[in-house]
Amino acid sequence: MKNLTTIGTDWLQCKGASAANGKDSRNQRRMCVTEADALLNMMKKIIAGEAPENYDRFYQAHKDVFNMTAVKADYERMKQWYGHVTFENLKELQTMVVADFLKKDLLRADRAPTKRELLQVRLDKVEELLPADYELPEDFSHQCAKFRRYISWDGDILVINYNDYGRFMCHNLTRLSLYDLVSLFEFDILLSLIHQDMRQMAAAELRQEPKRESRSEPTAVADFGLLVCKPEKAALVTRRLHELMEGKTRPKDVLMPVRAAMDAGALRRPTWPEFCSEFGRDRLRCKSSLSNYTQPDIAPYQGSAFDEMVKEFRNLIL
């Protein structure tokens, strides 16, 4: 067992506290040692076999010890990426925060997932809310399967089961580093901040609902065929897009023909209403997928299959 001084030093380094002299630094050091003291007491009790009867209250009590003002600052910086934040943006941010958390492999101490658990993982739903260039590790499905043991859903909001989450932390405490423990708490607080904004935004939209109903219906969307660069080839290009999308469910796969046609110079980048007018709203669950995979300044598709598709659309408009 490390002594308090060592724990405090590790904790200070883990949280990236400044080593400079001064009042702020001294206050930060005192705060870190206080947190480390609480953590040390928690470790002593668990190692001595004094597992708590209520893991939820146990977890919350220890989370409250830690000062997470830096997490709030990080969250505000994240929101600045979007400018005007929408509810869909918050859903995307929630997904990215979870993905970042799982990539740290903090659940490595948990038991391996069963085949049944792996079959319940829907990577397509995850990927459609992540940036097109976001790289997922090879074992991400396994991480998701483990993570599902500790959560439930309230509509679009991911809810942590704190009793199970606290039990995992307690039973695996000796396998977790101080950095791991900080990450567990930071992840929880970051999600809470996102959910607070999601609930406020949902409530605001609900209050505005009567006003929406009084608005006039939007004008009809133009013919999708007008997006084809050569009007005489519109039917041919559109039909081929339908054929290549057939049977595809992952957003990236659905939009691969669209991006290939764009790169071939056969198709202008469609808007969300234009896409839905031709292929239906059920083809994609989220319009951010269309935006991500058709964004001109990124290259989400690589490989011979995509290159052949681009070549095919070039030949179609000859």
pLDDT value at residue 11: 44
- pLDDT: is 73 or 4 the higher one? 73
pLDDT recorded at residue 48:
54
Residue 311 has pLDDT above 90, yes or no: yes
Extract the tokens encoding 89: 């943006």
Strand partners, 267: 228
pLDDT digits (tens, 9 = 90+) for 6-51: 444 444 444 444 334 444 455 555 555 555 566 556 555 655 555 5
pTM of the model: 0.54
Least confident of 140-154, 187-201, 273-287: 273-287
The CA-based diameter of the chain, rounded to the nearest angstrom, is 79
The pLDDT value recorded for residue 39 is: 58
Q: How far apart are CA 259 and CA 303, in angstroms?
A: 13
pLDDT of residue 82: 81
Beta bridge partners of 160: 151
Q: Measured between alpha carbons, how far is 102 from 220 in angstroms, rounded to an integer?
A: 43
Top pLDDT among 253 and 7 is at 253
Choose between 298 and 100: higher pLDDT.
Answer: 100
Per-position b or e across 174-192, b if 16+ CB within 10 A of its CB: eebebebbbbbbbbbbbbe
* pLDDT given at position 178: 78
**What is the rounded distance in angstroms from the CA atom of residue 272 to the CA atom of residue 290?**
7
